[in-house]
Each structure stands twice: as C-alpha cells, then as structure tokens.
Structure 1
Amino acid sequence: MDGSSGDSQPEEFPNLNTPPSSHKSPTQFPGNTSEDSEPFGGIFDHTPASRGSQPPEKSLVGMFEAFLRQQNAHKSERPGIVVFGEPSPLTFALEELQYAERPKLHSASRQIYDETASLGIAAQPPRHLSETDLAYLKAKGAFDYPDEAISDALISAYFERFHPLCSIVEKSQLERDYREQKLPWIILHAVCFIGATFCDDAVIHRSGFKSRFETRQFYYEKAKVLFTVGYHSDKIVLLQAALMLSFFGPHIHSYWNPGSWTGFGVTIAVSLGLHRAATYTYSHFREVTSLLRRVWWNLVIRDAYTSALLGRSFRLNMSLCDTEPLTFEDFECVITCPHEPQADCHCKHPAHYQIQMSKLSLLLRRILISRFGPGESTATVAQLHQLLSDWQSELPESINWDQQTSPLPKFSVIFKIMFHHHVILLHMSKPERVSSPQSQTPCSRGRSTAIAESAASSIASTAITIMTNSALNGFPHELFPAFFLAGIIFYRQWRQSDSDSAEKTRASLDNCLIVLNHAADFWDPANWAVKLFDFLSSSSHDTGGNSRPVSQEELDVPDKLLPATDEVGSGSFNSPMLDVLQTTYAPFDTSTIFDANIPEGLGDIMLMPNFWLPAAEDLQMFPL
C-alpha cells in the first residue's frame, strides 16, 4: 500500500526571522552528517539511559534496509523511501525468511536505535549531495541562520499557539536542540514559518519584513528547497516538515499546496509503518511511540480537512489503517499537569482538541464519501447525523458548549464551530446544474436545508466572540472553512430572499466575511474565498439583484426525514470570470489569479470544486 490512493472502498468507523541582509551563515555547510543520521533530528537524547536498558530487536524491514545500505556503500546517492505495505510483494518476499523466533516485519521505533546521532547544524554536509546542489542551497539561503531575537519570538509563537493544536514534536527536546543549534535546517525553517503564521503582528514588524505573507514565504521557501533537493534523509524529520509546510497555500495554479504536502507526508508515514498498530509495540521508550502516534493522527486530520476544503480525494485509505486512537498518555501536557490526575482542567484542553479532532476527521471522511462519493453510500444522512450527535454528547464537560455558560472557553467555541461545519457538509443541498437564467426553476426548501441554515447561523453567531476575545491567529486553521461554508449558505439565502429578510441574511454573510478577511493574513485560502464572494455578489447585482421571492406554496413541500440531497438552485450569471481577481493581495501576484477561460455560470460550483460535477449530458456546456 502506498497510502496515496483515495478511499475507493467504504471505511470502518473506529471507536474511538529577518530578511537575508541581517542573517549570519556558519563557515561550514551545516546539517546532518549523512543518510545514516538520526531520524528525529536530535529530538531525543542519545544517551543509553534515555533509551532503556536493551534496544528492541531488529525488524525484517530494518534488516533489509541495512542490507541495501551495505550494498550501496560505495555509491554517492542515497537509497530512496521504500514503501512496505501489507499487500506488497516485498512483504511476501521478506516473510519467506525462516527464523526460530521471527522478528516483526517493521518498526519505526527501531530506527532510533539503528541511526547515529545528529551532529547539529555545524556538521559537514551529507555525502549524497553534489557540490552544485550544496552551492544552490547556499545561494537560496537555506544555510542562513535566523537572527536570534526574531527566531526566539517565532519559536515561542510556535509553542504557544501551534504546538497545543498540532503536537508533532517533543517540546523540551526541540527547545534544547534549538539552544544548542542542533536542529536540522529544514525543521528550523519550518518551525520559523509556522511561528510567522501564528505570531503577533508586532513580531512581524520587528523582523523587518513588509508583511506577514513575506515573512512566511521567506522561511517556507528555505524549508521547501531543502525538501526538494533532498538535503535531509531522516524520514521522521521530513514527515514533520511536510506537515508544517502543509499550512502554506493553496495558491491557484500552484501544485505546491496543502494537499500535495499532505501527500508527501502520507508516503513517508506509510513507509515508516505508522498506519499499522503493530509498529507501536516497544513499551520501554514510550516517548517515541507517543510522538509517532501524534504525528500520524495529525496527518490524518490534515488529510481529511484539506481534502474537504479543496474538494479533492483523500491521500489516505483509512480502511487499510489500524493505528490505535490517541489517548491522554500520548501528550506531554497531561504528564506535566499540576492538577489532580482525574481533574478535567484547562491543561488537558490541547490533548482534548487533538483527540477529538482525530475522531471528527473520521466522521468527516464518512460524510464526504456518503455525500459526494461516486457510489451509493451505505450510511444514511440520519445515521451520520446521529454519529455527530453522539460525538458531541461524549465530549468532556469542560469543552462541551452545550454544558457551558457564556462566555464559552476557547476550545468550546472551537468544537461548536467544527460540529456545525460538519452538519452543513452533511445537509447542504447540491446546487442545480448550470443552466441559463431563462430555465431557472424555484427551489424547494426541505428539512436538510433548514438544518444547514441553522448550523450556518450558529457559526456566524461566534464571529464576534472569536474576533474580540482572543487572537484570531491563535485558532486552528481547520476552523475557518466553517465560515466559508456558512457564507455559501447565507449567499444562497440572500439570493433567494425577499426584501424583508435579505438584509438580515446579508448581515450574517458579512459576519462570516469579516472573519475570513481577517484570517487572510495567515490562512491563505481566505484570500480567494473573500474574492469569490465579492465576485458572486457583484455578479448578482449585475444580473438584477436577488432572485424572485419563493412563494409559500413552493415552500410547503412534503418533508422527508433528513433527505440525503435537497436541491437548491444556485442561479446563473451572465458575466464571465474575466480578471476579477487581478487586484488580489499583492504578495500573491499571479498565483491567485483565476483562469479567464473558465466558462460562465459556474456560480456555487466554483466554491466547492469537484464536489458536484455536471452530468455527462451537460458536458457540452463546458468547452474543453
């Protein structure tokens, strides 16, 4: 299994810095010493005491990889990532080995004992790169060490705002390696990129950059070039970096986007065996298995939510994965909590968030497959809605918004928004296929439409809360698509409302747009989301404003129990999409400009790409 295929079969629901001029460069090319460098890039201590008295036995895959390294010791190039999945012929061949006590097939934990320690950023460059590769990396600034004051602030922002939401490194060891300048270059730049994404505006101003985007892009490009040239070969370092870099983009016309970075992460994670429970078996080094499990489940979360946002297929096939769910024992914050072990205190909220988001991501997969998959779903909308309700009812009281009084704690607000985001995806009706204005038909408003509208209102009602009570860039990026979806619901209502209710609906839409507009500084999709609504609103005005009011007779249609689909007309526009986005945010330049050749009348379909495609008989409407 390569992990990159989409979910083609039903899935089981488990239980669950400064500009270049101010940078300094070491005299030597720093980095890990070779392809044999330690896979956690120094994230763990390398003393025998920290690893347990006896290292675990080698796995079959570890033996085979060691054999490959021995056979290729005289060559300059490094071996690539080999994917060992259960259905692979490599698996069947390796299992032909006869041992009295057969070792297990694969263990990612074993690599920590196989590899040598990283010598930090002052080490000699890896042997597998040529002089021209190293010169290219140096010219791109990949070996420029950030200004200490700025990098300190960015590292601090990383741990204060990102790490509680995505705990994919060991905090204490990364902090120590940063102070001792032992971090791999790609991790240093990736962490600074994340810090620039989540830090306060004051840090950006002190850094000397013109904007947050320029700061983020500065560090992103350094980490990206190290990844693409192949400077590092440590699989777990590459996986951690890929997860961090997935928070850049997507930019229109660019194949470097959250989905592609998630795809790289999936390939690496599956090659490590993180998708199978048998990998997490060594109990005498608990920190390693906990970190690997956190990395895996945060990858699962990123895969589900980037796929939902972009309307693309999943990179992971979860039906072939059986990694155990996250528990509190997998998190540092629980171990260091000063309160009573049984107390459900705020210290546990980051662990709650990641545990519950991993569960929600599995529900999201089922919703997307059921609503938008090509085949017939075995799960009904009512069943999926019940699963969502069950998830909410099982939330701990401290983060369950229905069991809290105003003002809601931060994580309660987050889960409230995420819940209603899933409800909208489950119940929002499909737009009508593209048609001419003359052939538009009135919509019928069923129960699912009403549920989706109610969920959108719940999301819009939180806009003031998250805008005033906390730094908006301290919220998870998975939160903001909820305001995008809610905006779609309000736009549809606004288009179909009479004059009495249109103003109220437009105000709710504006609430969502305010959040998206402010989020555009650090959540890239908000830029084109806001521009899309600008385009749709201006096109609505050009074509005569709102659609005709829907009569009461048209609304009084038989109400079926939670129908899987509930058709809503999206309207059709006379204006082509020309260059309406040419005036988008300056840092994005042409990467955010829409193709002027997109056909007329796409309307809502552009908002949810690839979720609803035209029928075969309608394809003649789309010029190829």
Structure 2
Amino acid sequence: MRGKHRRVTAHTRPAASDGQLRPEVEAVTQDEEVPAGSGIDRINPGSGTSVVAFEDEDEIFLGESNALRYVQNASNPSSGRHGRHRVDAEPSHQWSCGPVNCEAALKFPSRHLQEALLTAYFRWFHYSFPIVDEPDIWKRWQTNAIPALLLQSLLFIGATHCEDSVLEKLGHKSRQEAKHAFFSRVKTLYDNDFESSKLVIGQSLFLMSFWRGDPLAEKDSRHWIGAAIALLQKMGFHRTGHAQGVRKRLWWAVYIRERQNAATLGLPNRIRDEDCDVESLRREDFALAFMPTFAAENVDVVINFNMGMARMATLLGEVLQTCYPPSRTVDASEHPDLHAKLLRWRADHLGTMPISVADGAACRNFYVNMLLMAYHNLRILMFQSDRPELRNEQNGGMCSSHVVDASTAICRIVEDMLSSKDIGHCQIHVITNIFNTLCIQTLGLRTWTGERRTLAVYRAKICLLGLRELQKTWDVTNWVLRLYFRYLDDGTAARLAMEGAEEDLPPSTRQSQEQHHHEQSVQQPEPLLSSATQQYDNGQAMEFMPNMPFPMPNGPDASLLAELGDGFVFNGNGILEDHVWHPDLFAGVGVV
C-alpha cells in the first residue's frame, strides 16, 4: 500500500437496462484478500470519490410469498440466505443505444403504424386496465392532440402486443428492441418534465411500470409504480370524491398493479388500505371507457373483470399481511375469514361457472380465464404459507389440498388457452400465476409417486409452454425462471426439458455442456431439488425456451402420456443426452 489508499484494479460492468457501461467501476484490492461479505472500495472516476460495494449488490431479495423458495429448498421452505438470490445483469444488446435526447424522443412512427400500435393497445391491454377513455384517445389522435408523453407510452404497450409484421415495418429486429426504443422515448420525456398534466404523467408512469429490464436495475417496475402511487396520492385519488371515471379507473389500475407486484416479489405493500377511502369501481365509471361499437355482452365481461380484479387486489393485500408476516406467528383463526371472503368473491364474480374450466364455451373467454387464474393463484398464496396446520400428509406433507387443486385448475386453464393461442396476450400477472403453479407441480415431482407424479410432469410442461408464449410478449429472458432452473436438480430438469434445444444453443454453451456431461458421468445423481448446477448459474437455462415445440395434446389421457417421453423428454441425440441429466431418477414413472 502507498499512503492512505489501497491500489485497485478497475473492472467495468454492464448497466442495468440500457446496455451502457456504468460510470462507476468496481475496485478489487491487489495487495490483500478481501474477506467474504466485507465491503470493498468502488471508485467513481467522475467524482474522485469512493463508495463501498458489498457482495450482495448482485442479489435480489424475494420474500415469503414468492414460490421460488419452495423450489430452492423443498425440505425447509423458509431456509436460505434470508430470501436473497444472486442474479446476473442482462447482457448488453446492439439495440441498447443509450440515452435518447428530447428531439429523438419526439419522433413517432408513420400514421399507419401508429394506428396499428394503438389498435393492438386497445385490443389486448385497454380492457384489462382502462386508464384512458378509448373514444377520446381516437378523437384526439385524429387531430394530433394526444400529449407526446402519453402517446409514446401507448405505443410502448402497443409494441408489446402488436403483430410481428408491424415490428418489421417499424424497422426493429425483435419485440424487445421495439419496446426498448419506445420506453427510452417515454423515459426521456418524463425525465425532462416535458408534460405538465398530472393525469397524463400518472397514466404514463403506470404504463412505464410494464417495462421489464435488468432485474438489478434501480428503476424497475416497482420504481415506476411507486412514482405513480406518490403522484396520485398527492392528487387525492385515494380519497373519496376526488376520483371519478377515468381517474378512479387509473387509481384502481395502479392499486391492482402494486398489489400484484408486491405478491410476485414478496415485498411489502406500498398502499395502506387504512389510508384510503376511495369508492369501489362501479359500472358508471366505465361509461366513457370503451367505443360505442363494443358489444354489450363484451362490455359486461370486461367490467366484471375489472371490478373483480380490483376487489381481489384488496383481498390479496390482506392475504400478504395475514399469511406472510416477517417475524411473527400467524393467527390461524384469521385464515377461515379470508377463505370466506374469497368464496364470496367467487360467487359474485364467477357465479355458477364451473371452476374446473374443463368444458364450456364461457370458460374459454379470455378475461374469464384470467379472472379464474387470479382466483386460483390467491388460493395458492392463501394456503401455501409454511404453517403446520395447513400441511396434508396425503399430499406428501408439502401443502394443503387447496394448493394442489388450485394449481391443477390453473394448468387446465393454461392448456385451454394454449389451444386457442391467445395466452401470450394475457396480462403480466398471469406469469406469476403460472410460475407459482409450476413450483407446486415441481414439488409434486419430489413427493408424489405413480400416476400422480406422471401428471405432475405433464402439468409442469404445460406451465413451461404457457410461460414460453408469455415470454414472447412480455420479456426475452425471465430472470425468475432462470432462478427456477438454477435451483432444479439435474433429474427434475430432465423431466421438464423440451425437444430441439441443442441446435438452438450457441456453440459456446454446447461446448460447456459437453464438458459438464463428461464431469457428471462419473458422479452419482444428486437428490431432487438440490443446489444450482453451473450451466444454470451462467444464465443459459432460458436459451432453449423461445424455441420449444408447441404441439401439446388437449388432454392427459394414457396414450398421450406414454408419448411424452419421445415427444418432449428424450430425443435420442437431443439436449438431454448432452446435459447428462439423470433419467434413472424417474425410473418407473411411466413416461421414460
């Protein structure tokens, strides 16, 4: 050492979401070894100052309501490093061109392409979150009167749901590239205070929360929804009499999004119900939300969906507070009351519709299916918490029968929506619903035997197919799903792997997997649900997801189950042979 400061070697690291290098660099001491868990200097060359960086800066905290903890350690779901998970920063992309100036942020596609993007927005997104009045938007669009911030925000969501041909005409090579371009424009206009209307800013902040960038980014979806909450509360939208029509719909959309986000990540609610007395949504609040040409029967379905999701969001907040407290014993007497509220919700918003959704035209409705998945997901959250009184020995002691029944129902809905090919346009919370179901079915692989285990394999694959379709719309790489594959043991991963992955992997990945094959061939198979293997640790598990096959059967009868091994699991010279996952762990299951 010289003087007061240690000599350091600088290593740059990629930025969180914009693909640029961060101005600060990490410092690694050359003169001494830094103990694990201690801080090391980080020097900012622009300021000449140093700050302290800790080893957990590449980790994300996921709380108790995130189902990943059940896959990470099935024998003791509450164990682990207090819910912390290491994730890798997203690699930089050619389309990540850095900050956009205001002049570039005011550039818009041609009128024809704007119309296509707005049409996609109103077809697939607006009915779930009617935060604008559709007739008013189209009227103002005809006269170029939509505020630039709001228009770019609408186009950003439109790029999420539009046809691939529209993306090509926009000049983008991928959906994520197009979404990044529009989001960058929205963010630039917002950062430069380009808009003065608080309502427009609130609407845009809500839409910005659907950007899914690097999980390590500071300004993630939770950041943007938090900014929207602060702004709307400042305007009094959370109080009675201050929000009507589109304003009330915006508040409840933000409320729903916040509750879903908190449940997904296992983080605290940011809106306290005791601080709010805003009225519930009513039919009259939707009077100007939709075009007059929108069929009356569809209006009824959409209004019921929005009112049901808002009411469920309040119940979701209660479940998170009651069933997932950080450091206290849950009062089991509170649980029957929550379940009774959920049953009343089902009676009010689902009526006499069969919950099994096995048959019936009504159950194929896009919004009814999303409502059903949200209902069953809340059942999972309500009964999966780690409490002895909810464990059921018949189900392997892993969870109550409510959880198993709910996850099975979600699998049936996903299968139904896969056959209609519209699942990719479901709202983003469906990703969480399916992922929670996937984790429950994965537990079934560990605890069940015989036909039940066979069905768990099949249902887990259904979940993966559903996530693949949603991934095409919402994200290129789902970092939570990466963690899921990291925590799987080789044998369980083998059961869930899909055909055709090998040729879709980059050569460097295949080479590393061949080396892994050689190393593992002389080792004993690890127990189910063990720690991460290296190939998942380096973030390659998701590489095969976008190219997995789609020809799933419509029902799990015996003959189809017998074909699962050849069609989806083992493929001669396919990826499973290269990974040397362990099919012998599943001997006797009936699908090998």
TM-score range, shorter chain: 0.5 to 0.7
Q: What's the offset of the Cα at 1:337? A: 6.3
- Show the counterpart of 1:175: 138
Other-structure match for 2:176: 213
Residues of 2 paired with 1:382 and 1:538: CA distance? Answer: 36
Contact 1:427 1:449 in 2 (8 A): yes
What residue identity is the alignment partner of 1:356?
G
Instruction: Please give the secondary structure, in 2, of the residue aligned with 1:252.
Output: coil
Return 464-473 or 299-308, whichever deviates more. Answer: 464-473
Q: CA deviation at 1:487?
A: 0.5
Match of 2:266 among 286, 290, 311: 311
Q: Find the aligned partners of 2:300 and 2:532 in 1 and give their Cα distance.
A: 53
CA change 1:261–1:173 in 2 (3 A) is same
CA-CA distance at 1:429 after TM superposition: 4.2
User: Does 1:519 pair with 2:470?
Assistant: yes
- For 1:251 and 1:448, the matched residues in 2 are separated by 33
Task: Indicate conservation of the 8 Å contact 2:489/2:533, yes or no.
Answer: no
2:340 to 369, 386, 390: 386
Tell me how far apart the structure 1 counterparts of residues 413 and 357 of structure 2 sit (CA, whole Å): 16
User: What is aligned with 2:3?
Assistant: none
User: Secondary structure of the residue that 2:236 maps to in structure 1?
Assistant: coil
Q: For 1:430-477, what per-residue CA distance to the aligned partner results, in whole angstroms no more than 9, with x for missing partners? A: 399xxxxxxxxx998459532211111111112221112242233222
2:86 is the alignment partner of 1:153: no
Q: 1:296 pairs with 234, 251, 262, which one?
A: 251
Instruction: Within 5 Å, give how 1:169-568 maps onto structure 2.
Output: 169-249=132-212, 251-280=214-243, 289-332=244-287, 345-374=297-326, 375-377=328-330, 380-395=334-349, 397=351, 401=355, 406-407=360-361, 408=363, 409-430=365-386, 445-446=396-397, 448-498=399-449, 501-524=452-475, 527-539=478-490
Provide the C-alpha distance between the structure 1 equivalents of 2:104 and 2:466, rounded to a whole number of angstroms. Answer: 35
| TM-score, length-scaled by structure 1 | 0.60
Asked if 1 retains the 8 angstrom alpha-carbon contact of 2:159 and 2:179, the reply is yes
Q: Deviations over 1:376-409 (max 9, x none)?
A: 5566222212211111011264977579951322
Q: What residue identity is the alignment partner of 1:216?
A: K
User: Does the CA contact (< 8 Å) of 2:323 and 2:385 recur in 1?
Assistant: no
State the match for 2:37 in structure 1: none
Q: Is the 8 A contact 1:199 1:473 kept in 2?
A: no
Distance in 1 (CA, whole Å) between partners of 2:394 and 2:524 is 18
Structure 1 Cα separation of the partners of residues 239 and 330 of structure 2: 26
Q: Is the 8 A contact 1:349 1:399 kept in 2?
A: no
Whole-angstrom distance in 2 between the partners of 1:420 and 1:199: 29
* TM-aligned CA distance change 1:468 to 1:403, over 3 Å: closer
3-state SS of 2:245 partner: helix
**Equivalent residues of 1:496, 1:547 under 8 A apart:** no
Structure 1: unaligned runs, 5 residues or longer: 1-135, 281-288, 433-441, 549-570, 589-624
Matches within 5 A, 1:584-599: 584=542
How much does 1:213 deviate?
Answer: 0.8
Deviations 1:147-167 (A, max 9, x none): 222111001111111111111
Sort the Cα spacing of 1:473 and 1:575 in 2 relative to 1 into closer, same or farther, 3 A: closer
Q: What is the rounded CA distance, in whole Å, between the counterparts of 2:290 and 2:484 in structure 1?
A: 46
Change (3 A) 1:156 1:575: closer
Q: Aligned in 2, Cα 1:242/1:577: closer, same or farther, shift over 3 Å? A: farther
What amino acid sits opposite 1:533 in the alignment?
Y
- SS of the aligned residue for 1:239 comes to helix
Measured at CA, do residues 573 and 582 of structure 1 come closer, stay the same or move farther in structure 2, by a change above 3 Å?
A: closer
Higher strand share: 2
Q: Is the 8 A contact 1:248 1:258 kept in 2?
A: yes
The Cα of 1:318 is off from its aligned counterpart by 1.6
Change (3 A) 1:260 1:308: same
Q: Deviations over 1:215-271 (max 9, x none)?
A: 111101110121122222321111100111111115321122221111000000001
Query: Match for 1:348: what amino acid?
Result: D
Partner Cα distance (1:399, 1:544) in 2: 50
Tell me, yes or no, if the aligned pair for 1:274 and 1:292 is still in contact at 8 Å.
yes
TM-score (norm 2): 0.63
Residue identity opposite 1:421 in structure 2: N
Give the superposition deviation at 1:168: 0.5
For the 8 Å contact 1:198–1:474, the answer to whether it is kept is: yes
Instruction: State how far apart, in whole Å, the 2-side matches of 1:184 and 1:362 are.
Output: 32
Structure 2 letter corresponding to 1:388: L
Conserved? CA contact 2:442–2:460, under 8 Å:
yes
Quick one: distance in 1 between partners of 2:526 and 2:405? 21
Q: SS in structure 2 opposite 1:305?
A: helix
Give, as a single letter, the amino acid of the residue that structure 1 aligns with 2:360: S
Q: What SS class does the counterpart of residue 242 from structure 1 fall into?
A: helix
CA distance in 2, matches of 1:463, 1:202: 26
Identify the residue that residue 21 of structure 1 maps to in structure 2.
Answer: none
Would the alpha carbon gap of residues 445 and 206 (structure 1) be closer, same or farther in structure 2, given more than 3 Å must change? same
CA gap 1:519/1:484 in 2 versus in 1, 3 angstroms: same
Contact 2:160–2:179 (Cα < 8 Å) also in 1: yes
User: How far apart are 1:532 and its partner, in Å?
Assistant: 2.9
Task: Indicate how the Cα distance of structure 1 residues 584 and 508 shifts in structure 2: closer, same or farther if over 3 A, else same.
Answer: closer
Matching residue's letter, 1:581: G
Separation in structure 1 between the aligned mates of residue 354 and residue 247 of structure 2, nearest angstrom: 28
After TM superposition, give the deviation of residue 206 of structure 1 in Å: 2.9
Letter in 1 for 2:178: T
Letter of the 2:299 partner, please give it. Answer: C
Corresponding residue number in structure 1 for 2:55: none
Q: CA deviation at 1:336?
A: 6.5
Aligned 8 A contact 2:258 2:269 in 1: yes
| Native 8 Å contact 1:516 1:526 kept in 2 | no
Q: Distance in 2 between matches of 1:517 and 1:153?
A: 25
| Partners of 2:105 and 2:189 within 8 A in 1 | yes
Rounded Cα–Cα distance in structure 1 between residues aligned with 2:541 and 2:176 = 16
Gaps of 5+ in 2: 1-98, 493-519, 547-592
Offset of residue 503 of structure 1: 3.0
Instruction: Give, in angstroms, the shift of residue 139 of structure 1.
Output: 6.0
